[in-house]
Amino acid sequence: MKTTDTPGQVPPRRRRRPRSATPATAEIRLSGDATVGGVAIGPAMLVLESPAPDIDASARTDDPDHELARLAEAIERSVRQIERLRDRLAILPEDGQIEIGSLLEVYRRMLGPSRLQRGIHDRIVRDGRTAELAVREETESLAQALLHDGAQFGGEDAAAAQRRAGEFREIGQRLMRNLGRAPFRSFSAVPAGTVLVAEQLRPADAALIDPSRIVAVATEEGGSTDHTAIMLRALGIPTVLAAHGLTARARDGATMVVDGTTGQVVIDPDEETLAVARRGVADHARERQALGRLRRLPARLSSGEKLQLQANLELPAELPLIAQSGASGIGLLRTEFLFMNAEAMPDEDRQAAIYAEIIGTMAGDTTTIRVVDWGGEKHSEALERAGLNQEGDTINPALGMRGLRLLLRHPAVLETQFAAILKASVAGPVRVMLPMVTIVPELREAREIYHRVARRLRRKGVPLGDSLPPLGIMVETPAAAIMGDALAQEAEFLAIGTNDLTMYTLAVDRASAEVASLYHPLHPAVLRLIQAATEAALRQYRPISLCGEIAGDPRVVPLLIGLGLRSFSMTASAVPRVKKTVRALSFEDCRRLAHRVMEASDVAEVMDLIDDFATGT
């Protein structure tokens, strides 16, 4: 028997009332928003949030200082949680990063010296409220005021007010949970192959999902355009959101079919439904296989020139994605993951083991390991304890102590990392990359440390190859791009980081939503610097690649090829798409495109030329 539970969304033929004693095997069909395409079958795991602790509305305190101290601690914990979520954003494509990053930024600001905080504070001190009650009353009062104003204007304003009210409530919930030490949902113990079922997933939850363990997501609430949906799309997990009635009917361990293309969720599917779903899974797999065949084809232009398409890696969990993508190596291994959620520094041997495992998995393809690029707004207790904080540089962290500067100030961290990479280098081909190099002396100083560490290891009898892994630099500042010739004489390879290069060239903070509309990696100023650095490297016969986000955009890569680049490193999921595009291109066409683009004086013109090229007009 099939029972359907979403009036008006499925054919009436199937609409039947569930019987009071529904047999355990009865199939239940629900419809929701088709959010991320693909079909998956698996056992359900309900991750329902435990209710927040009860709050006594009549409770009063005669010790406001104690309540203020509890509040301060809860705020601190909340900020740390949000920082950790922000640290995970790097695994998302740029759109997702911007979207979720700005939301997390809003949360961060609310937790800073804000109207919300002042209101909570007043309620504790003036009205004798407990911290929990003050948080609940203040967030609710701000949310209600917004909803009231929004309702008066209607339309877009009402929708914006609803979102903003939701943000206040979300922060209120987080603070109340932290005050009551109520646990947050954890997805860490999810067995592989699970279908995740929840009332609602917040972006913060979605950031914790491991795509190698969760085959599908189905929720009771949410919409296909909200922040969570964007994150799930970025993770590529078949998803149906807003399947009403889901959590009341799904049971832990029940077999579920989730079809993210049609928006159907089936609990306890019967044989017929399972057979159809299995075909859906097989079709999906075949499609992926077709892409897989493309992955095995060489990355060559139609005119014969060979390209190198590599992957950026932020977390070891992405290694299987890299293998599937057909990337020929790792062009940028961001090692920040080692330090992010750690309370203590990973020691030399621990780091060496992690690097060796990654290098070994790459089976002969090169792994480019970038030493930790710390600074900006990232947070790591381990690095702070090791002294790598920004030492009061709070106004302009991007221009302060970050990247290589910070490491040279604290060479012990750099030495440990160099030693670990050198030890791991016997596991396969490796390159070592320095972040945020601005001037030649920084490179020289780092190189001296690198050689000193290698000598020390050799003296201790640690086996290293005859020649050390090449030591190269990221070109992420205008100074480095302009001084490309001088740097290329001393660096063994270069990699252009357009994410930061754009920020520093256009003076636009890459993490700020307020100036996001001014952040243009294809601005002619940035393109000229890319061209200058590329030509400088080629003049010195040094390998040069590009590993900023634009390397994964098939519309942009033809221009970059025309500027002389042959090597790109990108988010793994972009490799097949980029390969498909480049295999249809001739070098001469790319060169002509670059020639035209380099005459453009504004970004709109550049975009038009690129779009015309992509659409063949």
- Catalytic residue list: 227, 547
Give me the sign of the Cα torsion angle 135, 138, 141, 147.
negative
Range 320-324 contact pairs with CB under 8 angstroms and sequence separation of 24 or more = 320/212, 321/211, 321/572, 321/573, 322/362, 322/572, 323/361, 324/288, 324/292, 324/295, 324/572
Residue sitting closest to Mg ion (CB):
500
Nearer to ligand PEP, 117 or 498 (CB): 498
Bridge partners, 433 (sequence order): 370, 472
- In whole angstroms, give the CA distance from residue 342 to residue 230: 28
- In whole angstroms, give the CA distance from residue 89 to residue 207: 7
Nearer to ligand PEP, 427 or 474 (CB): 474
Query: In the numeric block, which tokens belong to residue 245?
Result: 């009635």
DSSP 545: E
Strand-by-strand arrangement of the 27-31 sheet? 2-4, 27-31, 264-267, 255-259, 39-46, 194-198, 214-219, 239-241, 33-36
String of contacts with Mg ion for each residue 218-257, x by CB under 5 A: ----------------------------------------
Asked if 500 interacts with Mg ion (CB under 5 A), we say yes
Q: What, of ligand PEP, Mg ion, none, does residue 226 touch, CB below 5 to 8 Å by kind?
A: none
State which H helix or E strand residue 275 sits in. helix 271-296
Minimum distance from residue 569 beta carbon to ligand PEP (Å): 8
Q: What, of Mg ion, ligand PEP, none, does residue 498 touch, CB below 5 to 8 Å by kind?
A: ligand PEP
The Cα-based distances of 340 to 63, 287, 345 in angstroms read 37, 36, 10
CB of 241 closer than 8 Å to CB of 235 = no
Give me the sign of the Cα torsion angle 405, 483, 502, 554.
negative
Q: What, of Mg ion, ligand PEP, none, does residue 547 touch, CB below 5 to 8 Å by kind?
A: ligand PEP
Q: What, of Mg ion, ligand PEP, none, does residue 442 touch, CB below 5 to 8 Å by kind?
A: none
Minimum distance from residue 373 beta carbon to ligand PEP (Å): 6
Applying CB under 5 A, the span of 278-286, 291-299, 377-385, 497-505 interacting with Mg ion comes to 497-505
- The full DSSP string for 139-207 is HHHHHHHHHHHHHHH-HHHHHHHHHHHHHHHHHHHHHHHHHTTPPPP--TTPPTTEEEEES---HHHHT
Minimum distance from residue 141 beta carbon to ligand PEP (Å): 40
196 CB-side CA count, 13 A: 32
Nearer to ligand PEP, 107 or 337 (CB): 337
Q: What, of ligand PEP, Mg ion, none, does residue 586 touch, CB below 5 to 8 Å by kind?
A: none
Among 363, 565, 334, 578, CA closest to 435: 334
Asked if 33 interacts with Mg ion (CB under 5 A), we say no
Q: What, of ligand PEP, Mg ion, none, does residue 334 touch, CB below 5 to 8 Å by kind?
A: ligand PEP
CB of 552 closer than 8 Å to CB of 574 = yes
Q: Which of 64, 280, 346, 497 touches Mg ion by CB under 5 A?
A: 497
Nearer to ligand PEP, 233 or 334 (CB): 334
Applying CB under 5 A, the span of 242-250, 325-333, 493-501, 523-531 interacting with Mg ion comes to 493-501
DSSP 309: E
Residue 18: helix, strand or coil by DSSP?
Answer: coil
Minimum distance from residue 442 beta carbon to ligand PEP (Å): 16
570: phi then psi, degrees, rounded to nearest 5: -145, 175
Minimum distance from residue 476 beta carbon to Mg ion (Å): 5
**Identity of residue 125:** V
* Neighbour-count burial of 510, counting CB atoms closer than 10 A to its CB (0-12 exposed, 13-18 middle, 19+ buried): buried
Q: What, of Mg ion, ligand PEP, none, does residue 548 touch, CB below 5 to 8 Å by kind?
A: ligand PEP
DSSP 254: -
CB of 544 closer than 8 Å to CB of 495 = yes
Applying CB under 5 A, the span of 74-82, 376-384, 471-479, 604-612 interacting with Mg ion comes to 471-479
Instruction: Summarize as ranges the residues that interact with ligand PEP (CB under 6 A).
Output: 332, 334, 373, 476, 497-500, 547-548
Question: Degrees (nearest 5) of the Cα angle 236, 239, 242?
Answer: 145
Nearer to ligand PEP, 93 or 280 (CB): 93
CB of 500 closer than 8 Å to CB of 476 = yes
String of contacts with Mg ion for each residue 423-462, x by CB under 5 A: ----------------------------------------
Minimum distance from residue 95 beta carbon to ligand PEP (Å): 15
Nearer to Mg ion, 354 or 398 (CB): 398
Nearer to ligand PEP, 174 or 334 (CB): 334
Residue sitting closest to ligand PEP (CB):
497
State which H helix or E strand residue 257 sits in. strand 255-259
Applying CB under 5 A, the span of 149-157, 260-268, 500-508, 529-537 interacting with Mg ion comes to 500-508
Nearer to ligand PEP, 224 or 498 (CB): 498
Minimum distance from residue 371 beta carbon to ligand PEP (Å): 12
Minimum distance from residue 43 beta carbon to Mg ion (Å): 41
Minimum distance from residue 475 beta carbon to Mg ion (Å): 10
- In whole angstroms, give the CA distance from residue 205 to residue 238: 16
Nearer to ligand PEP, 373 or 553 (CB): 373
Asked if 558 interacts with Mg ion (CB under 5 A), we say no
Return residues touching Mg ion (CB under 5 A). Answer: 476, 497, 500
